A and B are shown apart, each in its own frame.
Chain A
Amino acid sequence: MGSITLEHVNKSFGEVQVIPDISLDIKDGEFVVFVGPSGCGKSTLLRLIAGLEDTTSGTIKLDGQDVTDAPPARRGLAMVFQSYALYPHMTVRDNIAFPLKMAKMPQAEIDKKVDYAARTLNLASYLDRRPRALSGGQRQRVAIGRAIVREPKAFLFDEPLSNLDAALRVNMRLEITELHQQLKTTMIYVTHDQVEAMTMADRIVVLNAGNVEQFGSPLDLYKKPANRFVAGFIGSPKMNFVDGPEATKHGAHSIGVRPEHFKLSTTEGAWKGTVGVAEQLGSDTFLHVQTDGLGLMTIRTDGDQTFKHGDVVWLTPDPTRIYKFDAAGKAI
């Protein structure tokens, strides 16, 4: 079991309040992603759950049991660090076995579990190497192996893939998702990459300056962002925002349209503009259009479009997909 509950958690470092007041309810077996811009407090929140930082006030519960004052070693959670944090003086085998050794498990059982984990993670032939002699991806696997052997109540990941190259990142992303489906253990995953968040999560927590902006399923966040911040953060490329009279026409302080929700035409439409950079990805083309009076907008079209720099285009937003926000940025 591994449900995690945060009640009015507050964290300050000296005078600096990093997390003002967060309450969250993470269900057993859920894959929850914390996402947000750099410095918004994702790692801090994760470390509070891990017990590596003490809360300033508030309560943290694991399976309904108050663990606010329990040291990390007693919480039964496993963590995978961005830096891998392997023990450099131990072999891969000893690294993976370490948590079991700390739990005073009999040696025969340790061997069995380590071998099993090594086979699952394709590490069997590296067991006697030191971490120094492994590639980044292999090190990350060892870190995951060390986390899974002890069958924790929940896994905590802090940007585990950000030191890997793009291709490996996609692979490991799939592997971690697969692992979650096999183990069905609660996972909390911190990232600032919204693609990782969208593809891996059951539910996403969007954080901004230590506050939860929204907590919901990926599609919820995409379709019904609670406010302008979430709307701008989820979705790639970013949503286009328009303020002023054009927004007032829609009865809002500002409106937003996603790049994929435009109709393009060379002859007629709502907003006129000139094509700037056209980024061709093959499957899609991103057009950066300088509109008359409404600023720069990004438009996503299919890969066969042949717009060039300097072409005049007309943009028409899909009227059912215009997001409206009030002066405070709240969705209306």
Chain B
Amino acid sequence: MARRVSTSTKVGFTVLAWAVALLLFSPILWTVLTAFKTEAEAIASQPTFFPQNFTLENFGAVQDRSDYFKHAINSIIVSFGSTILGLIIAIPAAWSMAFAPSKRTKDILMWMLSTKMMPAVGVLIPIYLIFRDLRLLDTVHGLTLIMTLINLPIIVWMLYTYFKEIPVDILEAARMDGAELWNEITHVLVPMAVPGIASTLLLNVILAWNEAFWTITLTSGRAGTLTAFISSFSSPQGLFLAKLSAASLLAIAPILLLGWFSQKQLVRGLTFGAVK
């Protein structure tokens, strides 16, 4: 029998859901609106909701002050580069964990996940020193490398759970059909796991894009990403709210758009297997 839910309960929960959603969204909305205000209006003691004097000059000022496009390109290289590098390492790793597990596979998976539970600042000094000695400080490739390492456990875990859903019979059929390991992975496993791989890619691009701790500590001018770009505005320019908002908006816009357009894929990938 279908579960009955009374109309008043439905209305109540709907209102509550909207209230919570708006509450969570309000800071972002405020940032967006502020980005189009003049500095004076942004800090006016009588705050306005909509910009009274709609202006785009904050964006021009931000670009002049600190090169937005350079940071954006760094962000793109680091986030996509680290994710793709991660996938190249993680696909074979997840294959072996899912389809050729050993006694210790579960332990290794748990260990990998546990590294994500440690506060990043705990390894700041060793990593900083290694980067300094290898001359990787403030380089895009150094940052890509560290981002790959940081997200690798999540990539392996996500792929592992997707691969577990694939019937091993089909891979065995490929082996019987004469496919060597490489062909088994590229012709059979990967095409079957495309939804899972795509959402792993999206999620990790987003995570890498938003990562702030390492990007800020390991870069200065040259290799800075958009998170470093925002932070460079927040401290010395703290009082220029409108410019800071414009910078933030510029920094989050690309990933917000990516997330928006790939929503369906993300949800499908993340709930993959839950409803087959």
A, B in one complex: yes
The answer to whether the Cβ of B107 comes within 8 Å of any Cβ in the partner chain is no
A79 with B176: CB separation less than 8 A: yes
B178 with A85: CB separation less than 8 A: no
The answer to whether the Cβ of B172 comes within 8 Å of any Cβ in the partner chain is yes
Q: Which residues of A contact B212 (CB under 8 A)?
A: none
**A85-B167, A89-B192 as given contacts; A79 in contact with B173, CB under 8 Å:** yes
The answer to whether the Cβ of A29 comes within 8 Å of any Cβ in the partner chain is no
B82 to chain A, nearest CB (A): 28
A50 nearest CB neighbor, chain B only: B176
B170 nearest CB neighbor, chain A only: A85
- From 146 to 191 in chain B, residues with beta carbon under 8 angstroms from any chain A beta carbon are 167, 169-170, 172-180, 183, 187-188, 191
B191 to chain A, nearest CB (A): 5
B174 with A98: CB separation less than 8 A: yes
A77 with B176: CB separation less than 8 A: yes
**A88-B192, A102-B183 as given contacts; A72 in contact with B169, CB under 8 Å:** no
B173 with A81: CB separation less than 8 A: yes
The answer to whether the Cβ of A52 comes within 8 Å of any Cβ in the partner chain is yes
A52 with B192: CB separation less than 8 A: no
A91 to B174, CA, bound (A): 15
Q: Which residues of B contact A161 (CB under 8 A)?
A: none
Max chain B CB contacts within 10 Å: which of A73, A78, A83?
Answer: A73
Q: Which residues of A contact B175 (CB under 8 A)?
A: 51-52, 71-73
A101 to chain B, nearest CB (A): 8
B171 nearest CB neighbor, chain A only: A85
A73 to B184, CA, bound (A): 10
A81 nearest CB neighbor, chain B only: B169
A81 to B192, CA, bound (A): 18
A87 to B173, CA, bound (A): 9
The answer to whether the Cβ of A327 comes within 8 Å of any Cβ in the partner chain is no
Interface size on A, residues (CB 8 A): 23
A72 nearest CB neighbor, chain B only: B175
A136 to chain B, nearest CB (A): 15
B179 with A102: CB separation less than 8 A: yes
B169 with A89: CB separation less than 8 A: no
The answer to whether the Cβ of A329 comes within 8 Å of any Cβ in the partner chain is no
- From 13 to 53 in chain A, residues with beta carbon under 8 angstroms from any chain B beta carbon are 50-52
The answer to whether the Cβ of A146 comes within 8 Å of any Cβ in the partner chain is yes
Residue interface mask A272-288, B partner, CB < 8 A = 1: 00000000000000000
A146 to B172, CA, bound (A): 14
The answer, among B172, B177, B179, for a CB contact under 8 Å with A52, is: B172
B173 with A85: CB separation less than 8 A: yes
A72 to B194, CA, bound (A): 26
Residue interface mask A57-99, B partner, CB < 8 A = 1: 0000000000000011100011101010111110000000011
**A83-B167, A85-B167, A88-B192 as given contacts; A73 in contact with B179, CB under 8 Å:** yes
A150 with B172: CB separation less than 8 A: no
The answer to whether the Cβ of A167 comes within 8 Å of any Cβ in the partner chain is no
Q: Which residues of B contact A87 (CB under 8 A)?
A: 170, 173-174, 188, 192
Max chain A CB contacts within 10 Å: which of B167, B172, B173, B187?
Answer: B173
A72 with B183: CB separation less than 8 A: no
A92 to B169, CA, bound (A): 17
B170 with A103: CB separation less than 8 A: no
A51 nearest CB neighbor, chain B only: B175
A72 with B191: CB separation less than 8 A: no
A102 to B170, CA, bound (A): 15
B180 with A89: CB separation less than 8 A: no
B188 with A85: CB separation less than 8 A: no
The answer, among A83, A88, A146, for a CB contact under 8 Å with B177, is: A146
A81 to B177, CA, bound (A): 12
Q: Which residues of A contact B180 (CB under 8 A)?
A: 71, 73, 102
- From 46 to 98 in chain B, residues with beta carbon under 8 angstroms from any chain A beta carbon are none
A86 to B169, CA, bound (A): 9
Max chain A CB contacts within 10 Å: which of B175, B176, B179, B187?
Answer: B176
- 22 residue pairs A–B, Cβ–Cβ below 8 Å: A71-B175, A72-B172, A72-B175, A72-B176, A73-B176, A73-B179, A79-B173, A81-B169, A81-B173, A83-B169, A85-B167, A85-B170, A85-B173, A88-B170, A88-B192, A89-B191, A89-B192, A99-B178, A102-B177, A103-B178, A146-B177, A150-B178
The 4 closest A-B pairs by CB, nearest first: A99-B177, A85-B173, A85-B169, A102-B178
20 A-B pairs besides A102-B183, A146-B177 with CB distance below 8 A are A50-B176, A52-B172, A52-B175, A52-B176, A73-B177, A73-B179, A79-B172, A81-B169, A83-B167, A85-B173, A87-B173, A87-B192, A88-B170, A88-B192, A89-B191, A98-B174, A102-B177, A102-B178, A103-B178, A156-B176
